[in-house]
Amino acid sequence: MANVNENDSELKELLAEALKHKHGKDDYEKDYDKAFEIINNIVQNHNDYIPAKHELALLYKHGKGVKKDLEKAKELYLQCCEKNYPRSVYDMGFFTFDESICGKGNRDMTTTMEWWTRSAELGYKKAQYNVGYAHYLGKDVQKDWKKAEEWLLKSSEQGYISATYYLCLMYEDGSEEDGFEKNYDKAYEYLLKLVELNHPAALYTLGALYKREYSENYVNLFDVLLGERDMLIGKHAVDKPPYDLSKAYEYLLKGAEAGHSAAQFELAEMYFESIFVERNTREGLHWLEEAADQDYAPAQYNLGMILYDGDDGIEQNKEEGIQWVESAAELGYPLAIKALEWMLSGEDEWESDSDPEDYEFAA
């Protein structure tokens, strides 16, 4: 067998063809059998070609094109690790992390972190992220935000979007126990990096910040309602960006088109309330429905109230309106709980501080 290196052009082209079969790219139909045939042939004839050996290990690990064989996969991975192939070193960590491999209750984070750290030191961005995230989370690993920052920065510099996301959160939140100070300027800096990468939550956040003087209800809606982190940076960024409804619309539209439910909700409000754009109930209804379909409680409530009452160009449908308000109530949304009680009571008057027929968009 001839000695080869990772840059052998002929073998690179052959492996690239195999990967097109594996992933179904560039007009190739997905064909794991063909991918295995090509990759296995490369390894049989060029055992030192590590990228192909790594891909062969993956096929054995997942049972694609060949019968699943974790021991064979591990054997191939370890051969790659002897050559310090970063991706194989990284994947070895999952043999002690993934309980579907090591068995329920048998996770070994010490060994896992040894593999991931070694891969991170070899420059693999996913490993750098995993090491950083593990120290950020502090679950089964010592919480250490300074160490988390170190590795997340390395990963972020290589364009790994999740690393950039958590750096943004860390700089906003800070951690007294780790001696990690809040830094809103850096939080905003990393928010803008995420926007450049079209991160949906970042697009929403920036749009909401541009819109903030109009609405005070944009901060961490899911944080309150469903226990999820909805915004990246909130009221802390009071001086930047400047209030600008045109930019608010631009970024909220991008976030909405990327599928972010809170962005869809905020955009719907702009259409219903004539904020920067002309009132367009059909367009507003479209974005409300998009957000409501993702179980976004404020959207479900407002959609339900609009359908219950009807609006310009929107036919009244009390039955469907009640269903949407009920969905929001099941998610614990306070206004929906009150509105549902009124709807089902048969009473003519709304026993609250506000009449639902005169509602303003509720967040």
What's the pLDDT tens digit per position in 35-76? 999 999 999 999 899 999 999 999 999 999 999 999 999 999
- The candidate with the shortest Cα–Cα distance to 194, out of 153, 147, 156, is 156
| Residues sharing a CB contact under 8 Å with residue 259, sequence separation 6 or more, in sequence order | 200, 290, 294
User: What is the reported pLDDT for 345?
Assistant: 82
User: CB–CB of 89/127 below 8 Å?
Assistant: yes
d(CA 101, CA 36): 22
Note the pLDDT of residue 243: 75
Give pLDDT tens digits for 185-235: 898 899 999 999 999 989 998 898 888 754 444 333 323 222 334 555 554
User: 124's torsion region: left (phi>0), alpha (psi -120 to 50) or beta?
Assistant: beta
The pLDDT value recorded for residue 290 is 97
Q: What is the pLDDT of residue 213?
A: 55
Task: Quickly state the pLDDT bin for 240 (edges 50, 70, 90).
Answer: low
Return the closest-CA partner of residue 126 out of 98, 156, 148, 149: 156
Instruction: Determine the average pLDDT of the residues in 248-273.
Output: 94
Residue range 284-290: mean pLDDT, rounded: 96
Least confident of 8-17, 30-39, 95-104, 229-238: 229-238
**What's the pLDDT at 216?**
45
Rounded Cα gap, residues 180 and 203, in angstroms: 26
